[in-house]
Structure 1
Amino acid sequence: MKMKSSKRQKQQKNLKSWISKHEFHGTTKGNINDYIGQRYEADEDVYVETLIPDLPSELQSDVKRHICLDLLKNIYIQTIFHKVGLQHRRQWVAMALFFNEHHYIVREGDPIDAVFLITEGIVWTCTSNNGEGSGPRHAERLEKGQYFGGKLLEWVLTPTSDDMYNLSKLPISSKTLKTHTKVEAFALMAHDLKQIWQSKLSRLGQEQLQSKAAARVQRIWRRNHPKTDDSNSIGGGSRKL
């Protein structure tokens, strides 16, 4: 009983810290606490790492929106997709992920199948010299308010063939993404981005919308990214990585 009580106290401390850190308030905070209380009354464990996927669907969407929406406002995920309604979707497609320290999320040469929004923790990106694995290597730090996966966005919005529509091909990462600390992130998966974009194309016409999106992506990409970059900052002022 003592061990169980100690474990429960640790869970409660972690959950309280997580709720405070993300500044939940009002109805959403109350609903989260009600859900946790119900689980405890049923004598079930509640862990931060599995809390979001276990929440009721509407509350889960509210939580994702609260955590991610501000991060999307100043990057071209929101700039391009705001008319698609990504920030207003009732069922948010972003998937919550938790990684331990020193964990490889993406390796150089891997296909990029998601855009990762960093909401807590520190990750490093590094690349070998000319992708050959020899010579000097370069590392850059990403933290809360930054993202990785710009190549996937560019590829979804400006496809050069029909491969994008069945996901038979994906862009290749020119960098390795590895956690330095424990990390909380949200992933926008390639197939979800594709479905959102296709839905918009079907309503507004592919040629017109894709032409506008391509021009906007290229302008933002040239301003904020080196040619081989996969990452960028979210928030007031871009940072070249």
Structure 2
Amino acid sequence: MEATKTEEIRRKISRKKLDVEQWIIKNKLPREIEDDILSSIMLTLKQRIDADIDNFLFSIPPGITKISLKRRLCLETLKKVKKLQDMNENVLTLICDNLKPVRYIENSFVFRMGDPVDRMLFISEGTLLIYESSDGQAGQGISSMDTRCLGKGDFYGEELLHCASKCFTKLPVSSKQVKCHTKVDAFVLMAKDLGAIVSRRPLQWEKNENKGSHEVENKAASTIITTFRHRKKNGHAKGH
């Protein structure tokens, strides 16, 4: 009986090996990570032969491997978020460590218009549809011109960062319908985890906030000065 179970595990590992190799290449990960993933899958199957191992990130137990994977998969995407572009690297890695893998089935809704945005979503596989619906009914009263697609490397829910605090007293509301066009694998940053990050790194977060405010102020001041000079120059031209 034990020999049969061992052989079944070996067959499952063998079938998964090719999937893991292709996934590693697709995500531009170092090859040495393959052994860690396969070892984790083997351990999971030994504990429960019927375990779901389709998503490696769900089957890998907590620890260094999962933390390292999340950083490699998500750090560059975080740096694409306007609000986080100048954020301290330590804060970004802390955000990565708090991300949670999720899977949404095809045609399911992540957010409906008016829903509280209690998480920020980072897509690793699949496609989301973002659109407005005047009648509030999914799939009715919309056109392709109204619809935007988000895929691997994209994100949704950036407005959550704009109201980040140690303790969220008010959440932003989704102005769009967010629906899965396909099965979607993603990472989510929950509002409560974001609040904990702000609480742990208040000075670094506030420094970034102030920097953003100064940039807006400097841009506004620059615009005023440019406009003043332009008007002054035109005034002199008319005087001559």
TM-score for both structures, normalised by structure 1: 0.69
The one-letter amino acid of 1:47's match is: I
Counterpart Cα distance in 2 of 1:39 and 1:198: 35
Counterpart Cα distance in 2 of 1:218 and 1:173: 28
Counterpart Cα distance in 1 of 2:42 and 2:173: 44
Equivalent runs, 1:135-146 vs 2, <5 Å: 138-146=146-154
- From 37, 50, 55, the equivalent of 1:49 is 55
Counterpart Cα distance in 1 of 2:95 and 2:29: 19
Give the CA deviation at 1:141.
Answer: 0.9
- From 71, 92, 101, the equivalent of 2:77 is 71
Count of residues in Structure 1 that have an aligned counterpart in Structure 2: 207
**Matched residue, 1:229:** none
**Matched residue, 1:110:** 115
Are the equivalent residues in 1 in contact too, given 2:75–2:93 (CA < 8 A)? no
The one-letter amino acid of 2:199's match is: Q
Q: Secondary structure at the match of 1:48?
A: coil
Structure 1 spans left out of the alignment, 5+ residues:
157-163, 220-241
Are the equivalent residues in 2 in contact too, given 1:98–1:185 (CA < 8 A)? yes
**Matched residue, 2:193:** 192
Identity %: 25
Equivalent runs, 1:151-170 vs 2, <5 Å: 151-156=159-164, 164-170=165-171
Are the equivalent residues in 2 in contact too, given 1:84–1:197 (CA < 8 A)? no
Counterpart Cα distance in 1 of 2:65 and 2:180: 28
The 1:12/1:102 distance shift into structure 2, 3 A limit, reads farther
Give the CA deviation at 1:103.
Answer: 1.0
Are the equivalent residues in 2 in contact too, given 1:15–1:48 (CA < 8 A)? no
RMSD over aligned CA atoms reads: 3.5
The 1:181/1:198 distance shift into structure 2, 3 A limit, reads same
The one-letter amino acid of 1:73's match is: K
**Matched residue, 2:178:** 177
Q: Does 1:29 align with 2:34?
A: yes
Are the equivalent residues in 2 in contact too, given 1:14–1:48 (CA < 8 A)? no
Are the equivalent residues in 2 in contact too, given 1:123–1:180 (CA < 8 A)? yes
Are the equivalent residues in 2 in contact too, given 1:125–1:177 (CA < 8 A)? yes
The one-letter amino acid of 2:61's match is: L
Larger Rg computed on CA atoms: 2
Are the equivalent residues in 1 in contact too, given 2:41–2:53 (CA < 8 A)? no
The one-letter amino acid of 1:67's match is: L
Counterpart Cα distance in 2 of 1:60 and 1:89: 13
Structure 2 spans left out of the alignment, 5+ residues:
219-240
Name the one with the larger helix percent.
2
Give the CA deviation at 1:34.
Answer: 2.0
* Deviation string, structure 1 residues 117-160 (Cα, Å, up to 9, x no partner): 1111111011134x87797662211111211002111222xxxx
The one-letter amino acid of 2:82's match is: Y
Greater RCO structure (CA 8 Å; 6+ sep): 1
Counterpart Cα distance in 2 of 1:112 and 1:90: 17
